[in-house]
């Protein structure tokens, strides 16, 4: 519905008011614990199903689904699509995944807002997922190149010739890095530069972090975190 401009809305006259209807999440766990045998789309599916159960919104009322993630699982690179199908959404409901470092899920939300503002959609589900228990670890480039060439080899002789070139250092894995590719800068470096630019002391940062965790613990103990939905881990 079109609403007049007020202090409680971002809408302009003649433009739809865009609102957040509801939000849920499954419990956060330490990596390597109960979620270790799952995949990212399993977790995202749990959140989508929890949202559907809480809001009772028909699946076909959702026009688009967008998810943010940082380290993509190569088998399910478009995790939004896999999670949506697993949660029972139609294969006709478009879904895409966005990555923008640690604000990936925020970018997913602003993308949803933009789609509604542009008149493309009426209802969008936006979220984010990360599974640090099973991040992609690749063979190094020498081994990958050999394996791809081996796949194209026609004769046994060609295959044996390629295999004979493999050296011990080919087996050294490529681990995912937390550093930014183009600058080799980590989040800690960026945070220190930002803090210096705005004259934020280490003490102020620590006090703010302590306050945040203290309030989160208090809210949890008082039952105020109503966004958490139950999630059943198969076999556990």
Distance CA(40)–CA(71), nearest Å, equals 10
Residues 91-106 have pLDDT tens digits of: 999 999 999 988 999 9
Whether 156 is in a domain gets the answer yes
The verdict on 49 and 117 lying in the same domain is yes
Q: The domain spanning residue 81 has which CATH number?
A: 3.40.47.10
Query: In sequence order, what are the residues at sequence separation of 6 or more whose Cβ sits closer than 8 angstroms to the Cβ of residue 230?
Result: 26, 50
SS3 174: strand
The verdict on 60 and 120 lying in the same domain is yes
The pLDDT assigned to 3 comes to 53
Residues 26-55 have pLDDT tens digits of: 999 999 999 999 999 999 999 999 999 999
The verdict on 25 and 118 lying in the same domain is yes
The verdict on 83 and 144 lying in the same domain is no
Confidence bin at 62 (pLDDT 50/70/90)? very high
**pTM for this model (two decimals):** 0.81
Whether 4 is in a domain gets the answer no
The verdict on 226 and 164 lying in the same domain is no
The verdict on 228 and 120 lying in the same domain is yes
Task: Flag whether pLDDT at 7 surpasses 90.
Answer: no
Please give the tally of structural domains in the chain. 3
The verdict on 44 and 114 lying in the same domain is yes
Pairing mode of beta strands 124-128, 64-68: parallel
Task: Assess contact for 94 and 64: CB atoms under 8 A.
Answer: yes
Whether 9 is in a domain gets the answer no
The pLDDT assigned to 222 comes to 94
Whether 6 is in a domain gets the answer no
Whether 181 is in a domain gets the answer no
Whether 7 is in a domain gets the answer no
The verdict on 24 and 81 lying in the same domain is yes
The verdict on 109 and 164 lying in the same domain is no
The verdict on 36 and 120 lying in the same domain is yes
The verdict on 47 and 109 lying in the same domain is yes
Whether 3 is in a domain gets the answer no
The verdict on 108 and 122 lying in the same domain is yes
State the DSSP code for 76. G
Q: By residue range, what is the domain housing residue 58? A: 20-136+222-235
DSSP labels for 9-48?
Answer: --PPTTSBPP------BPPP--TTSTTTTS-HHHHHHHHH
User: What does the pLDDT average to over 158-174?
Assistant: 88
Whether 38 is in a domain gets the answer yes
Q: Residue 47's closest CA among 115, 5, 108, 120?
A: 108
Q: Residue 112's closest CA among 124, 104, 103?
A: 124
């Amino acid at each position: 519905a079109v609403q007049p401009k007020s202090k409680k809305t971002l809408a302009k006259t003649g433009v739809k008011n865009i609102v957040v209807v509801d939000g849920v999440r499954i419990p956060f766990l330490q990596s390597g614990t109960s979620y270790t045998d799952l995949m990212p789309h399993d977790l995202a599916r749990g959140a989508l199903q929890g949202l559907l159960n809480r809001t009772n919104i028909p699946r076909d009322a959702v026009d688009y689904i967008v998810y943010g993630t940082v380290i993509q699982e190569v088998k399910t690179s478009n995790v939004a699509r896999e999670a949506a199908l697993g949660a029972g959404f139609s294969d006709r409901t478009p879904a895409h995944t966005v990555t923008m470092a640690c604000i990936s899920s925020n970018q997913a939300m602003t993308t949803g807002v933009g789609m509604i503002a542009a008149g493309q959609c009426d209802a969008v589900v936006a979220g984010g997922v990360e599974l640090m228990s099973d991040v992609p670890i690749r063979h190094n480039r020498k081994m990958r190149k050999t394996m791809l060439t081996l796949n194209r080899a026609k004769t046994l002789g060609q295959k044996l010739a390629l295999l004979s070139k493999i050296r011990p250092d080919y087996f050294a894995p490529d681990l995912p890095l937390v550093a930014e590719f183009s600058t080799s800068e980590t989040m800690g470096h960026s945070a220190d530069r930002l803090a210096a630019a705005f004259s934020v002391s280490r003490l102020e940062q620590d006090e703010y972090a302590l306050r945040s965790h203290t309030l989160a613990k208090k809210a949890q103990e008082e039952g105020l975190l109503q966004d958490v939905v139950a999630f059943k881990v198969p076999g556990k």
